[in-house]
Structure formats: structure tokens, C-alpha cells
Amino acid sequence: MHDPTHDYAVNLEWNQGRIGQLSSPELENLIECATPPEFPHGVPGIWSPEHL
């Protein structure tokens, strides 16, 4: 049985320090994200790639 694959175009642009924006050419909205607080200099209270 062949498992189907799904590809999604996602971009991450780091704007300042550890905070960036996730975007996709398929969507209008941006998602602000940051390095999680568990990492050195992480930012609490903002979505991280690990949340997603």
C-alpha cells in the first residue's frame, strides 16, 4: 500500500532577534513565531515552530 505524501510551502523570515514570521504563498495571514523559552534567549508567550 502506498502512503500518500503532502507537501506544503512554508517560509520563515526572522525579523528581529529570535522573533520571525511564518508565511505561505497559499495563505494571506502571517503567524508570528519565536524561539521557544526552553532554548537560550527564547521568547515566552509567542508561538514557536515546536507548537506548530
Strands 19-23 and 31-34: antiparallel
Q: Determine, yes or no, domain membership for 52.
A: no
Domain count, the chain: 1
Residue 1, pLDDT above cutoff 80? no
Residue 6, pLDDT above cutoff 80? yes
Residue 49's pLDDT is 80
Q: Determine, yes or no, domain membership for 30.
A: yes
Residue 52 is given by DSSP the state -
Confidence of residue 8 (pLDDT cuts 50, 70, 90): very high
For the chain, the first-to-last Cα distance in angstroms comes to 29
Q: Determine, yes or no, domain membership for 42.
A: no
**All 3 cell numbers of residue 35?**
524561539
Q: Cα separation of 28 and 11, whole Å? A: 13
Could you tell me which of 7, 16, 11 has the C-alpha nearest to residue 34? 16
Q: Determine, yes or no, domain membership for 43.
A: no
Residue 51, pLDDT above cutoff 90? no
Residues spanned by the domain of 9: 1-36
Per-residue pLDDT reduced to its tens digit, 12-48: 999 988 999 999 999 999 999 999 999 999 999 999 9
